[in-house]
Structure 1
Amino acid sequence: MQSEVSPSSSVLLVEPFYGGSHKQLIDLLKENVDSCSVFTLPAKKWHWRARTGALYFSQTIPSSQSYRVLFSSSVLNLCELVALRPDLARLKKVLYFHENQLVYPVRRDQDRDFQYGYNQVLSCLVADVVVFNSHFNMDSFLSSIPSFMKKIPDHRPRDLDQLIRPKCVVLNFPLQLPDVSRLLPEHKRLRWTTETSRLDDIITAQQQLSGEEVNHQSGPPTPQTPVSQVKPLHIVWPHRWEHDKNPELFFKTLLRLKDKHLSFHVSVLGETFTDVPDVFQEARCLLDSHIVSWGYLSREDYLEVLCQADVVVSTSNHEFFGVAMLEAVHCGCFPLCPKALVYPEIFPAQYLYSTPEQLCKRLVGFCRRPDVARRHIVTVDTSCFSWSSLKQRFQALLTDECP
């Protein structure tokens, strides 16, 4: 349990699952919003945090007449907290959805616990503002409420989505995008600093990214090709080591590249939690000679690997925003994402694949011509997702003015 209490604080930041993007957001708000008190629980045993966090916080958050705003992620059962603590019910209550439990993937439908989604619906009903990190997150949640409530055997509530919708806004997760120029290899620095003068190269590279395999011409590189361009393609997968990120598809694709005797390097990054899928250990053995980096890294080392990589891949079955993909793009990586979930909201069509076969085909082409990925300037403006761009909207959210 972490708590930072300011005697005259006007903003309560409450986070039952203080890890990953949940931690990043709370830390960012704490650093940039005046008069905050912070109450968190460690990022362990997510299900128990969702079940019992409200009761715990009801006993640990001190009473204060100075509180004006309560901000929490949707892991918290806000309905329980304000019922147990009526003094908090008078605050402006802001609920932030990093994900939603109505469409969060489970391995088997019978594994889905009705209570978690139900708690989120109840929390929305008592919140004053319901904030989603993407339109996909908001739309999938609201559109799923009617069918979700049909699981109740009888005496079902009605029109809950219509009650919640007027409270909803989309406010993207704010990225902290540091200056990584010192970490960039030469070809990325040159690409960024000479962007306008290399228009012909950019057009050529983008024409070659139509989804067709690039014809490979054997032989040494031309004199105009920098040495760095003939290194094997470096593929990075920077996601949580859990089944919903579909690591099985990623590793299956890499093994297909290996079977084709293609040259490539791979870095598998991201956080691990209690249960790590077996496929990670199996893949580490099978891909050992291709591995550059494996496992969770410090922030500095993580950014350095992203800067050295060429292509970043998502194989997710679930994604409501995708911090890691945008961080990798900021570091100069070419993104390959499923044509589903939140990705079409953020990435143009040339970075999306529809089938595992398309993903493999794109990576085969890049392995044969890594310079194509390295010359390409990604047409995604990551700055619009930065804290500097979103700061004023978050600060306004945490005033006690009516939404």
Structure 2
Amino acid sequence: MHVLLLSAYDAASHRQWRRGLVAAMPDWHWTQLTLPPRNFSWRVRGNSLSWGRGEAAELMARPWDLVVATSMTDLAALRGLVPRIGLVPTAVYFHENQFAYPRSEKAAHSIEPQMLNIYTALCGDMLLFNSEFNRRTLLEGAERLLRRLPDCVPAGICEEIAAKSYLLPVPLEDALFEAETQQLKGRPFTLSWAARWEYDKRPDRLLHILQGLEAAGVDFRLNMLGQTFRNSPEEFALIRRDFAHRLLSVGFVEDKNQYRGILRQSHVFLSTAAHEFQGLAAMEASALGCSPLVPDEQAYPDYYPREMRFADVPDAIAKLCALAERHQMGRELPLADFSRYRWKLLGEKYRHLLVSITGGGKI
């Protein structure tokens, strides 16, 4: 099987999924093309031009058995520029969609990325989504957008997309489940928060939760991890100033083993995000032994029981206070079992689904 793998906006989670997919099927012959995760508007509209008329043009036109592309790929335009690609069975993986992304007040609003999602979904022979939330919000968002268009909108577009859609999460690395469990009794109650330092990860919620814990007299420590940016929201600076006495590790930890070591020494992994289509960081932390506490929204209800989700800031504070008290009493904290989402188990499901669109088997 000769497979062309296209990652048009190769962000960290996309890269992790891509590498895991290739490693899970070493008997297939993979050719990978990626584009850097920057200049979003140009990247999502220009990837077909970069590949279809760039240095990769000759490679694109080779006789492939299968194409696997991320949803950032402008598949419709790519098939126009490289007609031979249009004859190859193609699976599209949706890490996210442009209908459920929280919009910054400073960002320019355009329907073009959403239309590209629709075109790519229509062009793919199979669509894979990492959560039901992702699939549902794309279909609902596409239906709303299509109703707004003035005329000449064909019927049945969303039904066509839904009919070839399947749920298949980004699997977790097997190594996460092979690490020894840390002994955390007697250590200060430690929270870890890990995400991009941007507005859609809701640092305002994080700040208010920390203020609530401080007011409640909880003795806690915090690892505030993740990639920082020049224009990161001011809440991060406020946390670093007002909670310096609580902070342990701060910022991006490049070494994977060091990062996982920090999580293994944490009692709770806290997410405050308003933009998660699966939430790999929380899943990985759970696999490493953290008790997760996540918002009761986005993809989180697809994967976490109600008691591990919070409705609002007061609810998060109350649940964290209860976990801190439980820790102080020497009782084990509740854990989420994600062992069924490891590559060792999901890799064969990926293989089965991808083979099915090449004529090699039925679902």
1:213-224 aligned at under 5 Å gives the runs: none
Q: Which amino acid aligns with 2:75?
A: L
Partner of 1:51: 45
1:2-401 aligned at under 5 Å gives the runs: 10-33=2-25, 34-59=28-53, 60-61=56-57, 62-108=59-105, 111-179=108-176, 184-187=181-184, 228-229=185-186, 231-272=187-228, 275-297=231-253, 298-371=255-328, 375-378=332-335, 380-399=336-355, 400-401=358-359
Residues 373 and 272 from structure 1, CA distance in 2 versus in 1: closer, same or farther, beyond 3 angstroms?
A: farther
Structure 1 Cα separation of the partners of residues 329 and 204 of structure 2:
27
Structure 1 Cα separation of the partners of residues 107 and 61 of structure 2:
43
Structure 2 Cα separation of the partners of residues 302 and 375 of structure 1:
23
Structure 2 Cα separation of the partners of residues 330 and 388 of structure 1:
14
1:146-198 residue CA offsets vs partner (Å, 9 max, x unmatched): 211233234334331012111111111111141566564224xxxxxxxxxxx
Question: 1:268 Cα deviation (Å)?
Answer: 1.1
Structure 1 Cα separation of the partners of residues 177 and 339 of structure 2:
14
Residues 250 and 236 from structure 1, CA distance in 2 versus in 1: closer, same or farther, beyond 3 angstroms?
A: same
Structure 1 Cα separation of the partners of residues 315 and 332 of structure 2:
21
1:95-149 residue CA offsets vs partner (Å, 9 max, x unmatched): 1100111121113498432000110101111110011011111112112222112
Question: 1:11 Cα deviation (Å)?
Answer: 0.3
Structure 2 unaligned spans of 5+: none
Structure 1 Cα separation of the partners of residues 230 and 157 of structure 2:
35
Structure 2 Cα separation of the partners of residues 254 and 280 of structure 1:
12
SS at match of 1:174: coil
Structure 1 Cα separation of the partners of residues 104 and 330 of structure 2:
34
Question: 1:28 Cα deviation (Å)?
Answer: 1.4
Residues 239 and 63 from structure 1, CA distance in 2 versus in 1: closer, same or farther, beyond 3 angstroms?
A: closer
Residues 275 and 23 from structure 1, CA distance in 2 versus in 1: closer, same or farther, beyond 3 angstroms?
A: farther
Does the CA-based 8 Å contact 2:277-2:299 persist in structure 1? yes
Mean CA deviation greater in 390-399 or 308-317: 390-399
Mean CA deviation greater in 136-145 or 62-71: 62-71
Residues 181 and 371 from structure 1, CA distance in 2 versus in 1: closer, same or farther, beyond 3 angstroms?
A: farther
Structure 2 Cα separation of the partners of residues 373 and 89 of structure 1:
60
Q: TM-score, normalised by structure 2?
A: 0.90
1:6-57 residue CA offsets vs partner (Å, 9 max, x unmatched): xxx7100111111211000111122233200000012222222112111101
Structure 1 Cα separation of the partners of residues 23 and 239 of structure 2:
40
Mean CA deviation greater in 273-282 or 9-18: 273-282
Question: 1:64 Cα deviation (Å)?
Answer: 4.8
Structure 1 Cα separation of the partners of residues 250 and 50 of structure 2:
37
Residues 397 and 254 from structure 1, CA distance in 2 versus in 1: closer, same or farther, beyond 3 angstroms?
A: same
1:213-260 residue CA offsets vs partner (Å, 9 max, x unmatched): xxxxxxxxxxxxxxx33x321011112222111111012210222234
Larger Rg: 1
Structure 2 Cα separation of the partners of residues 250 and 364 of structure 1:
15
Does the CA-based 8 Å contact 1:146-1:158 persist in structure 2? no
SS at match of 1:375: coil
Structure 1 unaligned spans of 5+: 1-8, 188-227
Structure 2 Cα separation of the partners of residues 381 and 67 of structure 1:
38
1:286-311 residue CA offsets vs partner (Å, 9 max, x unmatched): 11111111111121111001100001
